[in-house]
Amino acid sequence: MSVAECSSIRLSISSSVDGSSTDCSSVSEGIHTNEPPRVSHTSTTLQKLGVEELKELMLDLSNKVNQKNTQLVKCLRNRERHRNRAAKHFDMVTAIIQAWSTKSSADAKMKFTIEPPAGDANFAQWKDAITSLVRRPVGLPSHFRSSIWLSLATRYIKDLRIDWNKVLQFAFNDKCNPDDDALGAQIVKDLHRTGCSTFSGIENEEDRVILQRVLLGYARWNKVTGYCQGFNVLAAFILNVTNKNEADALKIMVYLVDHMLPKEYFAHNLRALTVDMAVFRTYLAMKLPKLSAHLTKLQQESCDDCNGGNVDLPLLMSSQCSGSSLCLLLVYQWLLC
């Protein structure tokens, strides 16, 4: 039984108790729908009852309270048992992560949980553990992504010391801002071209509206970067993880684009991307020398061949470019899991 259910029981008990002396309309909010309908007691109805009837009522109510208490205790025990079991599993994951690690002193302090613990030092250790897990080939299990990304993003926003609620109000404002028209036109052109089927079909109009709000929200938040083609893919992917929650998606998007990626990665003339391509090319030569040499050879032939002149382009350039997309994909994957 979940924590929510426990608290619901508690609410029900307190209502029952309160209800014995005062108005008791909320008693009917009990959790078990198969229970007999509850009678509402008010001071007027109670005043009409005799002593014996009142005693009986008291007994009945106190029995009910006891019953609920027993249920509550059972719930709490269950919760404790689940927590202990989860803690054991977390310890196991921590042990595995540490076994993979370089065994430095920082590694020894890593501690895995789903929710980050309170405190700066604890958060850092938690983040180390998550980072280490993400770097494993399997990455982070997809059902934990939403919660972990959000924890990371929330922490980043908290460190910015800004009024996030105000940001949200501004970002998701329905009124038009001066820059919205040009931005909006570009965003609308790409909404159905996200490469993500949940946003592409005719029947997904509502989802596209959410996607548009997140993209426009980000562009309003970061005016220098605004909207860059490809953000639609990112935002669609994030929205799928946050279960279409636009505020959470925006937060994660801010964390990804502003913090995880190099500064102004998508801004201006995508200079940072050009750097990434060069890095990719170097890596390719280091890690896959055969492929790299093959591409260079094709490039050379293409230059020699092509109808004259020193054409400084295609294939290697193309490898650079697909490299950039690849890099982007890797970067997506890197943060997003």
Residues that bind other proteins (CB under 8 A): 186, 189-190, 192-196, 200, 228-230, 232-233, 237, 266-271, 273-274, 298, 301-302, 304-309, 311-314, 317-318, 321-322, 324-326, 328-329, 332-333
Min dist CB 214 to other proteins, Å, is 16
| In the complex, minimum distance from the CB of residue 220 to other proteins, in angstroms, rounded to a whole number | 18
**Cβ distance to other proteins smaller for residue 149 or 266:** 266
Indicate the residue among 15 and 324 with the shorter CB distance to other proteins: 324
User: In the complex, what is the shortest distance from the CB of residue 221 to other proteins, in angstroms, rounded to a whole number?
Assistant: 18
Q: How far is the CB of 264 from other proteins (least distance, A)?
A: 11
Q: Which residues contact 44 (CB under 8 A, 6 or more apart)?
A: none
Which SS3 state, helix, strand or coil, does residue 321 take? helix
- Residue whose structure tokens are 């995508």: 270
Residue 161 CB, shortest distance to other proteins, in Å, is 31
Three-class DSSP category at 101: coil
Nearer to other proteins, 126 or 218 (CB): 218
User: What is the closest distance, in whole angstroms, from the C-beta atom of residue 305 to other proteins in the complex?
Assistant: 5
93 or 315: whose CB is closer to other proteins?
A: 315
Distance of CA 148 to the CA centre of its chain: 6
The length of the chain in residues reads 337
Q: How far apart are CA 302 and CA 153, in angstroms?
A: 46
- For 253-274, give one letter per residue: b (16+ CB within 10 A) or e: bbbbbbebbeeebbbeebebbe
Nearer to other proteins by C-beta: 43 or 269? 269
Q: Minimum Å distance from CB 225 to other proteins?
A: 9
Least Å from the CB of residue 232 to other proteins: 7
C-alpha angle with apex 107: 105 to 110, nearest 5 degrees? 120
Residue with tokens 């938690």: 126
Tokens of 199: 């946003």
Question: CA 51, 56, 59 angle in degrees (round to 5)?
Answer: 125
Q: How far is the CB of 333 from other proteins (least distance, A)?
A: 6
* Alpha-carbon span 277 to 233, nearest angstrom: 20
Give dist(CA 91, CA 96) in Å, integer.
Answer: 9
**CA distances (Å), 132 to each of 12, 197, 261, 299, in order?**
44, 31, 18, 39
Closer to other proteins at the Cβ: 69 or 300? 300
What distance lies between CA 274 and its chain's CA centroid? 29
Nearer to other proteins by C-beta: 5 or 190? 190
Give 123 or 334: the residue with its C-beta nearer to other proteins. 334
Cβ closer to other proteins: 50 or 308? 308
124: its two tokens? 């850092």
Residue with tokens 């940001």: 167
DSSP state letter for 247: H
Residue 73: CB atoms within 10 A of its CB come to 10
